[in-house]
Chains A and B, each alone.
Chain A
């Protein structure tokens, strides 16, 4: 995957496919420790020990449409290439937590990419999901909560074009501010 945000979208899709109602995405960029930590935590159906062990095996999948499952193996490869690792924690009925670490200054570290489009894509669905995205970079932080947005919108569904278009622009502006930019 060319962006960290695409790996994150893939993790979000896993969480949604597992029936998650709540998803917490945390990105922390720590220059002092030269570390970027990405965490996606959900309250979906989770996995048992056996499935958990096989989750990073590309020839393991629970779906019937094809025989390979590449999402986690691809993330694992990116993390390993960038001096980091992937940790999985899961229990049946209790959700899943995926943590990926990478060396912040590593030359192969993919760019963060379009987090706005990633979150908007994850929210483009009919079944409601409460999603929180928290991003810290040094002393600065940005937070987006779909629950806040839904409260603000009232009866209007999140998954209509103009709302999700606003979401992607709002998030990208917030993230750009973390990097000292003014945003688009």
Chain B
């Protein structure tokens, strides 16, 4: 328990530092579809893998959020990535492994993994 709290304190310090550094910077955003369709298809495992990957890489400038069913149930789990100033990119049939690669390639390197994309927002 005490160790966990020390760890939380460290996360807090890193996070505060990041907030200071990026004052004007916009955040990247990851959205996971968390309707019943998403949950049944494995959206929670996808979310969990994304959180683990962001935690390991200490990526503090990424907001993680969720949405309900958007009517693309057959493509669930769905993950949207929105980089600052870029249109929304939606990945379909994501699993934990793909989710980790999306963090590494798209969030970190800014490279869209085209073969998994099911939809793109307007430029």
Contacts and interface: CB of A to CB of B under 8 A. Distances in A.
Q: Give the interface residue-count category, chain B.
A: 35 or more
B67 to A, nearest CB: 9
Given A9-B44, A125-B66, A164 B19 contact: no
B120 interface: no
B15 A160 contact: yes
A85 interface: no
B39 A66 contact: no
Interface string A107-150: 00000001001101100111000000000000000000000010
Contacts of A165: 51-52, 54-56
Interface string A151-170: 01111110111111110111
12 contacts: A65-B70, A121-B44, A124-B47, A154-B12, A155-B19, A160-B15, A160-B54, A160-B62, A161-B50, A162-B55, A165-B55, A166-B4
Contact of A13 (B12, B19, B34): B34
Interface in A159-184: 159-166, 168-170, 173
Contacts of A13: 34-36, 39, 68
B39 A10 contact: yes
Interface residues of A, number: 40
Tell me the interface secondary structure of chain B in the complex. Answer: helix
Interface of B: 4, 7-8, 11-12, 14-16, 19, 32, 34-37, 39-40, 43-45, 47-48, 50-56, 58-60, 62-66, 68-71, 73
Contact of A121 (B12, B37, B48): B48
Contacts of B69: 63, 65-66
B32 A124 contact: yes
A129 to B, nearest CB: 12
Contacts of A168: 48, 51
- Would you list the 5 A-B pairs with minimal beta carbon distance, nearest first? A161-B54, A165-B55, A65-B71, A117-B48, A165-B51
A19 interface: no
Nearest to A127: B65
A117 B45 contact: yes
